[in-house]
Amino acid sequence: MKPEIVTAIISAIVAVISAIISIYGQTRIARLADRLAKQREAESRETQTAALMSKYRDPLLRSAIDLQSRLFNIVQAKFLQRFYHHSESEQDYTIKNTLYVIAEFLAWVEILRREIQFLDLGDLEMNRRLSELLVNINQAFGTAKLESTFRLFTGEQRAIGEIMLVPQSTDSSIAYECIGYAMFVKKLSDPEFARWFTKLKDDIAMMANEPKVNKERLIRIHHRLIDLIDFLDPNCVRVPPKYRTRINQYQS
């Protein structure tokens, strides 16, 4: 075979091999780039989740602490009987502040729900567990299997949470904030606002005047709130263990 032909064949083989190597290399690079992009996306979701939890953990935790403390005092320390009948001012505070700690917690649940729906949180265990805990509290408030005292159906819980919100400025890292106690008391003079609390207000009065009324719903809500507090503060940094005592389920 002539040298020229051999050289041409070798050149063709080298060209084919080079093309194969080039295509293989490009494919490998594309796969690597795709894998890195998916990894960055997953890390971004985790970062978003961590940032979200960090941003809302403290106010949600604080509101859960305040609500569980009030429920504990109502059931265990006879809070309503002790202060409802003392004076007009103490009765006023007993009613309005009890309404507020319920509404404040529902507000932060609503804020968190609104934020989460815009994020792709994937199947992170933390998000699943938080959602489960909030659903448990929602069901404890709303179940029709218990006495009607302090019962709030899901729509009522959402409505109370909504009317407690105030939009933040555009440069704030939080889109919504919950109104403070002073503003809450002021807004109760608005019939459209106050009507969402009519039943709860009547329930407070009934429990203050009928200490033997069944409190199983309050106990169940309290237990679910402790579950949430344990999740949000697992190392007991913000809430010492002695303040996480669960109400005896047989408490009348």
pLDDT tens-digit readout, 83-92: 888 889 999 9
DSSP summary character for residue 248:
P
Phi, psi of 178 (to 5 degrees): -90, 140
> In the predicted model, is pLDDT for residue 185 greater than 70?
yes
Confidence of residue 53 (pLDDT cuts 50, 70, 90): low
Confidence of residue 230 (pLDDT cuts 50, 70, 90): very high
Cα-to-chain-centroid distance, residue 27:
44
CB pairs under 8 A, 24+ apart, for 199-202? 199/151, 199/152, 200/98, 200/99, 200/102, 200/150, 200/152, 201/95, 201/99
**Joined tokens for residue 55:** 């941003």
Closest to 182 in 3D by CA, of 96, 110, 111: 96
Q: Are 81 and 211 in contact (CB under 8 A)?
A: yes
Rounded mean pLDDT of 177-203? 97
Residue 176 amino acid letter: Y
pTM for the structure as a whole: 0.77
Residue 7 is predicted with a pLDDT of 67
> 156-182, pLDDT tens digit by residue?
999 999 999 998 866 656 678 999 999
Residue 169 is predicted with a pLDDT of 67
244: exposed, middle or buried (Cβ count in 10 Å: 0-12, 13-18, 19+): middle
Return the minimum-mean-pLDDT range out of 33-47, 48-62, 135-149: 33-47
Closest to 196 in 3D by CA, of 143, 222, 160: 160
Closest to 75 in 3D by CA, of 179, 238, 212, 232: 212
Bridge partners of 167, per DSSP, are 176
> 107-147, pLDDT tens digit by residue?
999 998 887 654 444 456 777 888 899 999 999 999 999 99
Give the Cβ contact number of residue 184 at 10 Å.
21
